[in-house]
Amino acid sequence: MAALLADMAGDHPGRPVLVASNVPGAGGLRRAAEAGVPVAAVDHRGLSRQAFEAALLEPLRAARPDVVCLAGFMRVLTPEFVAAFAGRMINIHPSLLPKYPGLHTHARALAAGDAEAGCSVHEVTADLDAGPVLGQARVPVLPGDTEGMLAGRVLQAEHRLYPAVLRRFAAGDRTPVMI
Ligand code: NHR
């Protein structure tokens, strides 16, 4: 998220209108507020999925975004929520999709003995981590890698990939970015 904000601080087809989180006190909310971007927090705890999404939709709709970017967002979204932003909501996922949708991607890549790992930006559809891929960045898996070491290497790639994809997507170009 911070990498996207930093990229949008320069010449860019988009501008940030809201940073929202389901984690009150999340570091990203403070960083966004420091950068002068409006923020919203909706704690999902104690709410049903429907009630959580209804509460999240209020500030989101009010901000009138053209594009919604998920970054580290860990709540599965209902088809109804996805439909509200159909074709204009994207996510970055820490694997080379279609490999390893869902959770624990780095542990799964290591357990499989993969020589390569990476991250994907994809359109968010009702099917989890299954929407069209808009970009991928690859990194090597190195001998002796732990889950944490691989996760750190992939995160660096995420910080390069997501701004590159958003630039293209915000300009109306859905050609995949492959780096
Ligand atoms: N929602 C839809 N409809 N489609 C996608 O492609 C989505 C989505 C919501 C989040 C991000 C995804 C990821 O990048 C994402 C993509 C969380 C889970 C999950 O199982 C799965 C995929 C992703 C994020 N969440 C659990 C839940 O019950 C909670 C897990 C937890 O809190 O640790 O929501 O990886």
In the chain, domain spans: 2-178
Q: Which is the closest atom of ligand 1 to the Cα of 103?
A: 35
Q: pLDDT above 90 covers what percent of the chain?
A: 100
pLDDT digits (tens, 9 = 90+) for 71-123: 999 999 999 999 999 999 999 999 999 999 999 999 999 999 999 999 999 99
Under a CB-based contact definition with an 8 Å cutoff, are residues 124 and 91 in contact? yes
Which pTM value belongs to this model?
0.97
86 Cβ closer than 6 Å to some ligand 1 atom = no
pLDDT value of residue 126? 98
CA of 74 to the centre of ligand 1 (A): 5
What residues are annotated to the active site?
Answer: 93
Residue 59 confidence (pLDDT): 98
Across the range 34-40, mean pLDDT stands at 98
State the alpha helices, DSSP H only, in the chain.
2-8, 27-34, 49-63, 79-84, 105-111, 147-170
Distance 22 CA to ligand 1 centre (A): 13
To the nearest whole number, what is the mean pLDDT of the chain?
A: 98
What's domain 2-178's architecture? 3-Layer(aba) Sandwich (3.40)
